[in-house]
Amino acid sequence: MPEFELTTPIAFIIFNRPDTTERVFAEIAKARPTKLLLIGDGPRATRPGEAEKVAAARRIVEKVNWPCDVRTNFSDVNLGCTRRVASGLDWVFQQFEDAIIMEDDCLPDPTFFRFCQELLERYRHDLRIGMISGNNFQFGRRYGEDSYYFSKYCHIWGWATWRDRWQSADILEMRHWPMVRDSGRFIDLTPGNKKETLFWQQAFDKVHQRKLDAWAGPWTLANWIEGRLGIIPAVNLISNIGFGADATLTTDGESYLASMRTEPIAFPLVHPVIIARHIVADRFGGRQFKTVPAWRTAGGKVKRKLKRILGLSRGR
């Protein structure tokens, strides 16, 4: 795509996986962004050898050999998944009005960057839209000729958003959650499906109680409270290559969501005429996260589903 110039800032979140970091960084390098913001968590003192892995990952992203404004936000201490992502993206959006967010295990198709950049501009002032995702979990199902559809789900294996949407989210505290839960109105956010309502209520409770370190939960809740939709591409543009035993959340290396096939999206984009949630697509997509074998906590309660969907934040 020689006619395309990637001018949107890229925020690249890394940690302790130099192998996946190198593969994702290679794709970013091919896109040659003009602005690259690097976010890194510090090593955990209780993990022998992790400091060396963190250092190795950081050395990889120092190899910027194209004209680029590079800025770094590396923590010396380990902040954990939620605090590191939240503080890192706060730093990004203090400087820029929009950004494409990549993580060290989310391998993009080259067309992902242009897809995000064009839609960031198109929906910049449309507050009905909360984010743009690179994920598609329809497994080949298409719904007409449109290049994307609108969803209530916030898939974040490669995504993009704007400063005003991010800054409206209460990622660390989730202050509005007890009121939403206890008012009896939460079912309005998941209409027509009591099982899904219960699922998400358990998920948000776990994150709010700090029993689950997953920033994707508060981000999803913030968009739902504001009535915002996400954009889902008609084809899958991101492959998560981070599933495995060394991951924190996406540990099931045999999952059908691991290393999914990607394909390029065609340009010019075909835009939907109606800006409304695609209920049929969401019903199918939502079911993909409810077929996972259960795992149990020390208390014996089934929690695997919570890790699966909120674990879409990162596979570390």
What is the percent of the chain with per-residue pLDDT over 90, rounded to a whole number? 75
What is the band of 311 on the pLDDT scale with cuts at 50, 70, 90?
low
- Say how far residue 262 (Cα) sits from the centre of its chain: 16
Q: How far apart are CA 188 and CA 197, in angstroms?
A: 9
User: How confident is the model at residue 295, as a pLDDT?
Assistant: 29
Other C-beta atoms within 10 Å of 178: how many?
12
Pair 122, 42: CB distance under 8 Å:
no
Burial class (CB in 10 A: 0-12, 13-18, 19+), 68: middle
Structural contact between residues 214 and 311, judged by C-beta atoms closer than 8 angstroms: yes
* 263: amino acid identity, one letter: E
pLDDT above 70 covers what percent of the chain? 86
**How do residues 221-278 score in pLDDT, each as one tens digit?**
999 999 999 999 999 999 999 875 554 444 444 567 777 899 999 999 999 999 999 9
* 3-class SS of residue 36: strand
Beta carbons of 201 and 184 less than 8 angstroms apart: no
Q: Would you tell me which CATH number, out of the four given (3.10.105.10, 3.30.70.20, 3.90.550.10, 3.60.21.10), belongs to the domain 10-313?
A: 3.90.550.10
The pLDDT of residue 314: 44
Q: Per the omega criterion (within 30 degrees of 0), is the bond before 268 cis?
A: yes
Report helix angle 216-225 to 194-208, nearest 10: 120
pLDDT computed for residue 307 by the predictor: 54
User: What pLDDT is recorded for position 230?
Assistant: 98
Residue found by looking up tokens 């954009």 in the block: 231
Q: How do the domains of the chain map onto residue ranges? A: 10-313
